[in-house]
Amino acid sequence: MGESDMVGLDGRVTGTVGPGLVGEVIVRIRGGAEHFLAHPAPGTGRLAVGTVVTVVEYLPPRTVYVMAAYGDAG
């Protein structure tokens, strides 16, 4: 799985993501759903559990950088 396969996919926060925190997201991929460690994209604040996010960077094997998919996550 390459970076281009992950970037742009949507997921949902399952463990709070924020500055100084390593959170968790679940992303639908390869016919199922997989969990990834998650960091906020630069300029992104705290993302609460349940927030729909978009993957903006993928660091193999299991780390992603994410931002809110729909405007302000506030």
pLDDT, residue 70, reads 87
Asked if residue 41 lies in contact with residue 68, where contact means CB atoms within 8 angstroms, the answer is: no
Q: Residues 44, 46, 48, 49: what is their CA dihedral angle, to the nearest 10 degrees?
A: 80
Which two structure tokens, joined as six digits, stand for 17? 């993501």
CB-based burial of residue 53 (10 Å sphere; 0-12 exposed, 13-18 middle, 19+ buried)?
Answer: buried
Question: Element (H or E) spanning 67, and its range?
Answer: strand 63-68
DSSP 8-state class, residue 69: S
Q: Report the chain (74 residues): mean pLDDT per 10 consecutive residues.
A: 82 96 94 96 95 96 95 60
